[in-house]
Structure 1
């Protein structure tokens, strides 16, 4: 195929299909709902409060305070309502994109978990857990006005987390954990061919004008009249395995007070899969006589597929917490977490075929397309309390302020903002056999209605809009709310 402005336009529109905004995996895509016992206090002081086997996740050093063999298992349900109050978009040529607000984009998510610890001797404990540390799911209606920027967004991460702890018998424990994580991701969007169609109309009109007075028409030259393309569709799916580490410390200051600290290393998934494009415009070389040979669309459309990879950064984090037993019935908890989301600066879709595949036309293993992210580092602060009403029953309450890492580059994939997390919980423990049941509910209150103003940006200059995207833009204002519920069963043997 000869290189021409129209050919390059087709190429750019094709690559835009895999330019899913990086917030697909998103606005802190960490999941708080890992344990009903900790959720009851909004995870406050979880690194300093090893109630049961879930300490494998929160602070492996806490296993040193559990006797014998312990199991905890349960599940959480998370339901986020995210719906645009207003939505408008323009295509590459600046024309309006017809469509609606996309409906409620988030379906309820089910998050199971299982944890086990075992005391080897007085100094060493081991354990493991299965849980879902990260995830995201969003799906717009097909007639969404911003469908050229986002349609479906899915991320599922499952982790197997073995751990070991040691203690010195004098109130100090240290733990080490490993997270072996499997991730699957999916991004889809509709494709905007308005620029290609516009160039075809313009070229056809110029040739038609040049033939006036000759008695000829473009059809005599074998050139088909422009016909509107159907919308194309892009589907990217990939998966990978990644590993990171967690180290934890727990110090017992007194019988009533102790402090905990955990630090987790960062890592990166390389989600490998395929970019599949449907409705791809086909071109042909037309011999137009005096007008020369030109490459123009034929009106036909086809599908294409190419092997790609998508790097996805997981941030480093550090968490501190404290537990203080105020009296025989009331325990106070507090904590704070800091996550280095700023390492997630961009989302790149990279050809695994050296740029020779059916979708890309770049040479070598280079970036096919780029989305600027520039997330910021975030804090989460938690406070909570436990009231031991009777030997069998306890009531819990907690509050957390959770900061969103999405800052200047808010997208349709994940319209996020800072939020308040309010939780209530209850615990029943059998005095006879030690079986314990925890239940918790929580609600998320978002501080702002996120406003999206989305463009495409250059890879070489991430703060500059991509001129090849023309006037393509999406604007929307969202209303967000969420609730969650969790149930957990624990037992010490």
Structure 2
């Protein structure tokens, strides 16, 4: 037992270190990740709430621990590789002066992601089981080339979340089990993009004209004169901004932050008969407040020694980024048709409508360097992105064929609805998808060792059509506040592979 305990401790350490180093993925049912268990992935997570094969039930339904005997350990990793790139000939962009932006499609924005996991359960008594898990429940990753045509809207988008999940389950000895999990989650995030200075320069030019001519507004001018002034200021702004970017490059905003948040999962598992059982789990919502800093490099400031009258400087400010995590509910059913065939099905509903915006708020108030430079005051965010996601469904079906006492073959299908609705941004170009998986399981009954392997492919229902605009936080679904825009259609495809080792002691 001492050797087993040492091995368990080492496995936990390795799983934790690997999880902290793992890159995140993009476009995975919002930013939740499905690739948490090879044994469940083989059937596309179908019926996972009602099929406690091993210690991974800590994640899918903690009540399932009541059907495991003794001590159980499961650990493994999944690889998720997504190809996401804007199609040639579909991209276009304008700056804040409504002039065309030139650039490339940005390349393949998603790198392969490695998602490790570790789960453990222990039978305390005939009626009580405990366990815990280490896994990556949420993640995002997108990185465009620097010459991306939509660089004023997105460059890097990253989210990595690691969950530590202690769990407990009780059963009444008559087929009903109940369980609860506390998810303690640590998240790191990063947002970056190039900054378009033309809107600010244009407003300064207009203000200088008003001051020089003792006017309060351009509306005091006749229509023809007003248009002439606007055209003249626009031409001066375009010339100055182009000269600045030619000499110093566009300003660049880079925001990083981290936070710890918690939510709860409760689960129920009921045996309708010796061949059929159903499971139900519900998870509470929560919110990360990712606290960190914004670094705005290349911000133009007056400099009489510069050939264009301005030169770059770097501004920093402490910020926070709220990030909503949705409530969800999952139903699952497992039915054993015969000694060799098992059918599985399930459905998950997630309240992604909690994710309404992606805003960056100052933690220093009006006196912060960035806030002072851009004139931000009060409770207004430094930047605002309208998201307005919708609630979603995921449906899964799958089957297991126990070909021999040692070998089982699995297959599954899931339809995964995208929460991205009317505001499809360059940061998260998403679409509904179909998930097809195949898996196999080898089990040595005498030793208790089990090995699962699974592969899957993601087929997206359509091209993701991005139409990115700039909106006001005061009217997030109203008219855009500038002429800046980015449009593009994205080719999306992906594959995944997972392996898992389980042991019953």
TM-score by length of 1: 0.86
How do residues 90-489 of structure 1 correspond to structure 2 at under 5 angstroms?
90-196=94-200, 226=240, 227-229=243-245, 230-283=249-302, 298-360=309-371, 361-467=375-481, 469=482, 471-489=483-501
Distance in 2 between residues matched to 1:433 and 1:268, nearest whole Å: 43
Q: Is the 8 A contact 1:74 1:113 kept in 2?
A: yes
Which is richer in helix? 2
Distance in 1 between residues matched to 2:53 and 2:462, nearest whole Å: 35
Q: Which moved more, 1:423-432 or 1:115-124?
A: 423-432
Q: Is the 8 A contact 2:39 2:439 kept in 1?
A: yes
1:30 Cα deviation after fit: 0.5
Hey, what does 1:15 align to over in structure 2? Answer: none
Q: Any gaps of 5 or more consecutive residues in structure 1?
A: 1-22, 208-224, 286-296
**Structural RMSD (CA):** 2.2
Distance in 2 between residues matched to 1:54 and 1:262, nearest whole Å: 14
Q: Is the 8 A contact 1:24 1:413 kept in 2?
A: no
Hey, what does 1:292 align to over in structure 2? Answer: none
Q: 1:26 to 1:487 in 2, by over 3 A?
A: closer
Q: 1:204 to 1:304 in 2, by over 3 A?
A: same
Distance in 1 between residues matched to 2:44 and 2:302, nearest whole Å: 57
SS in 2 for 1:359: helix
Q: Is the 8 A contact 2:329 2:350 kept in 1?
A: yes
1:196 Cα deviation after fit: 4.8
SS in 1 for 2:40: helix
Q: 1:37 to 1:24 in 2, by over 3 A?
A: closer
Q: Which of 69, 72, 78 is equivalent to 1:70?
A: 72
Distance in 2 between residues matched to 1:76 and 1:56, nearest whole Å: 18
Aligned residue pairs total 442
Q: 1:27 to 1:486 in 2, by over 3 A?
A: closer
Q: 1:457 to 1:168 in 2, by over 3 A?
A: same
Distance in 1 between residues matched to 2:152 and 2:127, nearest whole Å: 58
Q: Is the 8 A contact 1:354 1:366 kept in 2?
A: no
Distance in 1 between residues matched to 2:63 and 2:445, nearest whole Å: 26
Q: Which moved more, 1:159-168 or 1:453-462?
A: 453-462
Q: Is the 8 A contact 1:355 1:366 kept in 2?
A: no
Hey, what does 2:3 align to over in structure 1? Answer: none
1:464 Cα deviation after fit: 1.7
Q: Which moved more, 1:68-77 or 1:81-90?
A: 81-90
Which is richer in strand? 1
Distance in 1 between residues matched to 2:355 and 2:196, nearest whole Å: 27
1:366 Cα deviation after fit: 4.0
1:205 Cα deviation after fit: 11
Distance in 1 between residues matched to 2:352 and 2:424, nearest whole Å: 15
Q: Is the 8 A contact 2:26 2:110 kept in 1?
A: no
Hey, what does 1:210 align to over in structure 2? Answer: none
SS in 2 for 1:367: coil
Q: Which digits, 9 at most, give the CA deviation of each residue in 1:127-163, with x for residues without a partner?
A: 0000000001111111110000001111000000000
Distance in 1 between residues matched to 2:504 and 2:166, nearest whole Å: 19
Distance in 2 between residues matched to 1:35 and 1:437, nearest whole Å: 11
Distance in 1 between residues matched to 2:39 and 2:176, nearest whole Å: 24
Q: Is the 8 A contact 1:356 1:362 kept in 2?
A: no
Hey, what does 2:45 align to over in structure 1? Answer: 43
Q: Which digits, 9 at most, give the CA deviation of each residue in 1:161-211, with x for residues without a partner?
A: 00000000000000010000000000111111234556788899999xxxx
SS in 2 for 1:355: helix
SS in 1 for 2:502: strand
Q: Which moved more, 1:164-173 or 1:344-353?
A: 344-353
